Structure 1
Amino acid sequence: MKDPAPKKVKLMTLDPGHFHAALVQKSMYDQINKNVYVYGPKGPDIANYLKLIEGYNTRENNPTQWVEKVYEGDDYLQKMIAEKPGNVMVVSGKNNKKIDYIKAAVDAGIHVYADKPMIISPEGFKTLEQVFKTAAEKDLLVYDIMTERFEITTILQRELSMNTNVFGTLIEGTPEKPAITKESVHHFFKYVSGKPLKRPEWFFDTKQRGEGLNDVSTHLVDLVQWEAFPNVILKKSDIEIIDAKHWTTDLSKNMFKKVTGADTFPDFLKKDLDGELLKINCNGSITYKIKDKVAKTSVIWNFQAPEGTGDTHYSIMRGTKCDLIIKQGAEENYKPKLYIKINSNADKVAFEDNLKTLISTTINKKYPEVKLENIDDETWTLNIPQEFKIGHEEHFEQVTQNFLKYLKDGNIPAWEVPNMIVKYYTTSEAFKFVNSNN
């Protein structure tokens, strides 16, 4: 991008079928006009989105002041392109339609702020590559919402891995013992902004939403790139799929009703019914090489988290001097915690000195009061002040501030667009791998 965007951003929210569309507006931003132009088909998706916005506008603490200008009709995309009252399109909904929406916006000269995933098929990937070419020619920003980069234990795992005195270098790894592993456990029934989340019926159709391989895996593949190769421009040729799998989570009619409110399964889900059970191909794992390092991502969907818990994340980066491990289980009270485990061949005295120096200098300059705690002869953890433990919903504000900065400056890091392409190439190739081996 060469030319800075206009000082005031005007949002156009297209077909907001996923609650992430509303989370972009959980906060107000100086750079964004309070009027938001919403286009979509008449139905429950827009109604649920507007209900969340109304909740933000009427909350007791720091209410927002969004004014929603809504158009409902079957020609919603054409109407948005024709009227073009804004300069940024926000899109978060049916993933099978998303790449067509993105292409139409870019062709019309509109910046795009998209919830992941931007594509769910190999055909969509080809279109996405063309979209980025067109966006570059028109000085447009196309950016996806990678909230997980703002989780503090992930940030610190990345920071520690970049210090060769502590981490050494990332090992090459094997399929049995990858150099970097990311595992995410999600739940269909959950609470958002303090209320039970009502999911649309289409969310359970992998033809419309995508599978775990090309939906949530987008986050995990992004984190692998962002942590293992910070600020490095990647290429498609850096990726080699070793193995990929997918499997189902089964929902009863009562479970489906609890999360959607629907008494029966819609016709488009009948293809996935096995007797009375809905079998959703929403889980997936990818084992692959990225620049000759073996990585593995896994996405698991359960129906509902145990009381007092929520979505969880596990990660390990294996270095030549130590392993950096994020756990979020019962022992951690289901809150993410970062552990540093020294390798048996490392000099413990020198390692601990280097670790203490890293924390007291580099880390504490960025994150004051982060403290090192020794657990046993080979393991340490970081005690992180509560102010840095920002929740998933709040990460949307942080990503949006990044997006607005890139718009204002008319610039984006050189690695971002190439690595978005590589990220979606990885998930697309994994999807092809699974389907060609079935």
Structure 2
Amino acid sequence: MRKQLLTTALLSAMALNQACNTKKEEAKDETSKKPLSLIVVEPGHFHAALVQKSMYADVDSVVHVYASEGPDVKAYLDKVEKYNTRAEDPTKWKEEVYTGTDFMDKMLSEKKGNVVVLAGNNQKKTDYIKRSVDAGLNVLADKPMAIDAAGFDKLKEAFASADKNKVLLYDIMTERYEITNALQRELAAVPEIFGELQKGTASDPAVMKESVHHFFKYISGEPLVRPTWFFDVNQQGEGMVDVTTHLVDLVQWSAFPDVTLDYQKDMKLLNAKRTATQLTPSQFKLVTKSEKYPDFLGKDVKDSLLNVYSNGEMTYTLKGVHAKVSVLWNFQAPEGTGDTHYSIMKGSKANLIVRQGKDQKYKPVLYVETKDKSKAYEDAVTAGFKAAQDKYPGIELKKNAAGWEVTIPQKYDNGHEAHFAQVANKYMEYLKAGKLPEWEVPNIIAKYWLTTEALKSAKR
């Protein structure tokens, strides 16, 4: 009996000790800070929430939000809450929110985190970037970082300040992570397949990228409600400086991978033009939930139609290679379709083409098109493709009349929303290393010089 009592007492003590240790561990988990902590400033664009669609190993779950009070911050918080409460793989963000007209000054005085996330109204974004890096904070910014020539000058100052203060300033280039874009870059670097990048001409560029977007769309399964300021080019920026940022980035990244570019020596703008997309009052109401046009859009309304200068194109040379990028915005995509992308890179042996039309069921597909039908070239393509297969297991070449289609397993098609986490993870790798690749900052500066210079040219 005595032995049984001693055993029971020992087991009780062990259980109590284990419970105490568990509580200590839980308390430790709650109080231990991870190396990175997010500060979200004025989240007016849904991209701010998409950065938080996933959790990150090195990022604290507490997010400090500073914004002006209104529908923009509410829409952001609602999206984050949906990610936190979804049935599958819910996130665990804890939002600490400050709203007030002095939100930027408050954030800078408190500095409760070390990574500022900016995705919202672009009118003041460059200023927010500059003030954040001046204060010694890292910045992950949605595109565009600058929407006009004055903004470009301030952005150059911001990069100089970031370098001085040993912090990293980076923009969210999601399109690098779309699989057909990644593979187009990969195959362009294989001489056996692509040969050499052609120079092209102004009327027949060697690299072209075209993008079609829509004002009304679905995000995370729900209709996207856009803020009214999104349709004011003074606040959002024109199409020439907005979506084209992605396209210019892809041209640089795929045609000259890991090469440092100097915009004053390596780039020359040849031509730029801009046009407007017209919205009816009912379309504007559908996408904004606003009953009327706000006063700041009065300048763009004619005969009740809202003219949004969201379309633009530019032709330019990059290290002597002729390139063209263009963007077009429609109101809504036809049923079963969505945003589309077209891209071509012309090589001496083959053209690498991404198409996303009806024949591709509106999914991007990469083709290798060539005039050389010889057995020797076919064998060279098969051999050269192996390096890409090693990097992306499962991709295959499927023969067709024009050359080949690159078939891509479903696992690589993770969708636009997932690319935000991929960009964030890459940025966190750079933060851990304490630096960006040598070519990144000069190439970001070159990119924004081109877009803002094109806008200046188109408006003359």
Q: Same fold (TM over 0.5)?
A: yes
The DSSP-based 3-state class of the residue aligned with 1:334 is: coil
Q: Which position in structure 1 is the counterpart of 2:356?
A: 328
C-alpha change, 1:7 and 1:139, in structure 2 (3 Å) is farther
Give yes or no for the alignment of 1:309 onto 2:334.
no
Q: Kindly state the Cα deviation for residue 222 of structure 1 after the two structures are TM-superposed.
A: 0.2
Give yes or no for the alignment of 1:368 onto 2:368.
no
Q: Kindly state the Cα deviation for residue 174 of structure 1 after the two structures are TM-superposed.
A: 1.0
Structure 1: how far apart are the matches of 2:312 and 2:343?
16
The correspondence for 1:388, drawn from 387, 407, 412, is: 412
Give yes or no for the alignment of 1:298 onto 2:322.
no
Give yes or no for the alignment of 1:31 onto 2:58.
yes
Q: Is the 8 A contact 1:90 1:114 kept in 2?
A: yes
Whichever residue aligns with residue 349 of structure 1, its letter is K
Structure (1/2) with the larger helix percentage: 2
The DSSP-based 3-state class of the residue aligned with 1:285 is: strand
Structure 2: how far apart are the matches of 1:348 and 1:134?
55
The correspondence for 2:281, drawn from 236, 242, 253, is: 253
Structure 1: how far apart are the matches of 2:38 and 2:399?
48
Q: Deviations over 1:361-397 (max 9, x none)?
A: 2011111111111111x32101100001110000001
Relative to the length of structure 2, the TM-score reads: 0.92
The DSSP-based 3-state class of the residue aligned with 1:154 is: helix
Largest Rg, 1 or 2 = 2
Q: Is the 8 A contact 1:7 1:408 kept in 2?
A: no
Give yes or no for the alignment of 1:337 onto 2:362.
no
Structure 2: how far apart are the matches of 1:247 and 1:379?
36
Give yes or no for the alignment of 1:239 onto 2:267.
yes
Whichever residue aligns with residue 318 of structure 2, its letter is I
Relative to the length of structure 1, the TM-score reads: 0.96
Structure 2: how far apart are the matches of 1:74 and 1:409?
36
Q: Which position in structure 1 is the counterpart of 2:49?
A: 22
Q: Which position in structure 2 is the counterpart of 1:349?
A: 375
Structure 2: how far apart are the matches of 1:220 and 1:338?
17
Structure 1: how far apart are the matches of 2:435 and 2:303?
54
Q: Which position in structure 2 is the counterpart of 1:49?
A: 76
Find runs of 4+ consecutive structure 1 residues off by over 4 angstroms: none
Give yes or no for the alignment of 1:417 onto 2:445.
no
Q: Kindly state the Cα deviation for residue 176 of structure 1 after the two structures are TM-superposed.
A: 1.6
Aligned residue-pair number: 427
Q: Deviations over 1:133-165 (max 9, x none)?
A: 111111110000000000111111111100111
Whichever residue aligns with residue 108 of structure 2, its letter is I
Structure 1: how far apart are the matches of 2:395 and 2:388?
7
Whichever residue aligns with residue 292 of structure 2, its letter is T
Q: Kindly state the Cα deviation for residue 358 of structure 1 after the two structures are TM-superposed.
A: 2.1
Structure 2: how far apart are the matches of 1:145 and 1:349?
43
Q: Deviations over 1:201-240 (max 9, x none)?
A: 0000001000111010000000000000000000012111
Q: Kindly state the Cα deviation for residue 302 of structure 1 after the two structures are TM-superposed.
A: 0.5
- Which structure 1 residue ranges, 5 or more long, are not aligned? 1-5
The DSSP-based 3-state class of the residue aligned with 1:30 is: coil
Structure 1: how far apart are the matches of 2:412 and 2:207?
24
Q: Kindly state the Cα deviation for residue 45 of structure 1 after the two structures are TM-superposed.
A: 0.4
RMSD value over aligned CA atoms?
Answer: 0.9
Give yes or no for the alignment of 1:75 onto 2:112.
no
Q: Kindly state the Cα deviation for residue 348 of structure 1 after the two structures are TM-superposed.
A: 2.6
Q: Kindly state the Cα deviation for residue 92 of structure 1 after the two structures are TM-superposed.
A: 0.3
The correspondence for 2:128, drawn from 101, 109, 119, is: 101
Q: Which position in structure 1 is the counterpart of 2:143?
A: 116
Structure 1: how far apart are the matches of 2:376 and 2:49?
49
Q: Which position in structure 2 is the counterpart of 1:11?
A: 38
